Amino acid sequence: MLWRSITSRAIIARMHGTLLVSISSIFDATRADTEKLIKHLDSRKVPVSLLIAPHIDGNWHLAKDPDTKQWLLDQQSGDRAIILNGFDQAVQGRRAEFANLASHEARLRLKGATRQMHKIGFDTDLFAPPRWRLSEGTLAVLPEFGFTLVSSTRGIHNLATGDFFQTRNLSFGEGYGAAKWWRRNIIRAATRGAAQGRIVRLSVSARNLSDKKTLRDFEEAVDKALATGVTPRDYRDFR
C-alpha cells in the first residue's frame, strides 16, 4: 500500500516541534515502575501514551490480572492515550509479532486481540505493533477493525486520510537495547531532532525502568527535548 506524504502546510507546521512519549510492556511486574515514570512525566506536563496487549510472556493475561486491568481502565477513563500493542507479545523473543505477517494471518491476530480487549473494556483506534515493526499485510487490514492510526518504525500512518508522518521511533528496550552507548545516542538524537523542529518519538519498555540508569537517561532525553521548546502531545493528535 502506498501512502502520500502530508502536503498541507498548516498540518506540517502544527506537528513539527512535537514530542511523543510512550511506554510498552506494561503488566503486573512492571506496573509500579510505569506509575512512577508517568507521575514524573505528568509533573512535566508530558502526556504519555500507553502500549498494551492482552498477553505478555506467554503466561500473563490482562483479563486475569484485575489490578493491572483496573489501573489501565482508570488511565483510559482519565483520558490517557491507549494503543493496542499486538496480541501475544510472547513471540517477541523470536521475532516481532506483526513484522512479517501476510494479511490473512494479521487479520486473525487482530481479530483475537480486539475481541479480547473489547470484552474487558478497552476499545482503541490506535495501533502499534511490537517493536514498531509493521508488515504491509498488517497495514492493509487494520481499517477493518476500526483503527484510524498506526505507528511503525518509519512513522505514523493516518488510515482515514492516507497521510503519513515520517518520523522514526527512538526506543529504550523494545528489542533495541538499553546499553549506555545506545542510551547516549538516543539522547543526542532526541535533542538534535527537537532542536531542528522535528517530530520526536521517545519510547521505553517498562521492563527497563527498574534500572535506575536507564530511567535517568530516558528522563534526560525527554528533558533535553523539552528544553528546545517542542510541544508535548500524544498520538491521538495525529488523527
Structural domain harbouring 128 = 4-238
Q: b vs e for 64-77, b when ≥16 Cβ sit within 10 Å of the residue's Cβ?
A: ebeebbebbeebbe
pLDDT at 91 over 70: no
What is the pLDDT of the chain when averaged over all its residues? 92
Count H helices and E strands in the chain, helices first: 7, 13
pLDDT at 1 over 70: no
Cell 490473512 appears where? Answer: 104
**pTM of the complete model:** 0.92
Contact by Cβ (8 Å): 137, 106: yes
Burial of 225 (0-12, 13-18, 19+ CB in 10 A): buried
Q: How many domains does the chain have?
A: 1
Q: Which amino acid is present at 171?
A: S
Amino acid 69: pLDDT: 98
Cell output for 116? 479480547
3-class secondary structure, 42: helix
The total of other beta-carbon atoms located within 10 Å of residue 80's CB is: 16
Cell output for 174? 523494545
Amino acid 90: pLDDT: 58
Mean pLDDT of 172-180: 89
For residue 59, name the pLDDT band (cuts at 50, 70, 90).
confident
pLDDT at 93 over 90: no
Residue 206's CATH number:
3.20.20.370
Beta strands in 66-136 (DSSP E): 82-84, 126-127
Q: How far is CA 184 from CA 75, 140, 210, in A?
A: 31, 36, 18
pLDDT at 5 over 90: no
- Per-residue pLDDT reduced to its tens digit, 101-148: 999 999 999 999 999 999 999 999 999 999 999 999 999 999 999 999
